């Protein structure tokens, strides 16, 4: 007498139910990891663009006369920037901040860089003395 080993119908159904529960969870994990990698890549690009714009504004006191917002042209579609100026509480310096916005899967994220600048009224020059960075996510 030979013994035949095979799966029963109940075992096959149990395996299919298990896969039915497991596959959506795995797909959700893949979607989240894909979103995180896109956000990371675009955040790095936005940080570089923000640093370039901050440098451009601090050279020759351009931050005092330049526009307060704009985009980066056809090379960087979807990326736009805004700059703000606030008086620093600790002295005669100004906090110059540049925020770069970028879209990821229908949501707008941003990276913000700021620096302290000093505008000498006699010479008309500015000096960047400190830089800080932050990034955020959200819609505007």
Give the per-residue pLDDT at 126.
44
Give the range of the structural domain holding residue 62, as residue numbers without chain letter: 9-137
Indicate whether 32 belongs to any domain: yes
Q: Three-class SS of residue 80? A: strand
- The answer as to whether 96 is a domain residue is yes
Q: Note whether residue 28 is domain-resident.
A: yes
Number of domains in the chain: 1
2 in a structural domain? no
Q: Does the structure show a pLDDT above 80 at 24?
A: yes
Within 8 A by CB and 6+ apart from 7, the residues are none
**Residue 128 within a domain:** yes
Is 19 domain-assigned? yes
**Close Cβ partners of 104 (under 8 Å, ≥ 6 residues apart):** 35, 38, 39, 42
Q: What is the pLDDT of residues 41-94, one digit of tens each?
A: 999 999 999 999 999 998 877 888 878 899 998 999 999 999 999 888 777 888
Pairing between β-strand 107-119 and β-strand 94-104 as defined by DSSP bridges: antiparallel
Asked if 119 and 59 touch (Cβ cutoff 8 Å), the reply is no
Taking only Cα atoms into account, the Rg of the chain, rounded to an integer number of angstroms, comes to: 26
Token pair, residue 86, equals 């606030």
Q: Is residue 58 part of a domain?
A: yes
In a domain, residue 3? The reply is no
Q: Cα dihedral sign for 130, 53, 82, 37?
A: negative
The pLDDT confidence band at residue 100, using thresholds 50, 70 and 90, is very high
What's the whole-model pTM score? 0.69
């Amino acid at each position: 007498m030979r013994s035949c080993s095979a799966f029963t119908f109940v075992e096959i159904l149990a395996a299919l139910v298990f896969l039915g529960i497991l596959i959506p969870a795995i797909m959700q994990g893949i979607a989240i990891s894909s979103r995180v990698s896109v956000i990371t890549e675009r955040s790095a690009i936005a940080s570089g663009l923000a640093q370039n714009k901050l440098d451009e504004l601090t050279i020759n006191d351009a931050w005092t006369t330049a526009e307060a917002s704009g985009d980066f042209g056809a090379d960087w579609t979807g990326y736009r920037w805004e700059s703000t100026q606030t008086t620093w509480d600790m002295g005669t310096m100004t906090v110059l901040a540049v925020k770069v916005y970028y879209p990821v899967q229908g949501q707008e994220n941003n990276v913000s860089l700021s620096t302290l600048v000093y505008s000498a009224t006699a010479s008309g020059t500015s000096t960047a003395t400190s830089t800080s960075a932050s990034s955020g996510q959200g819609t505007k």
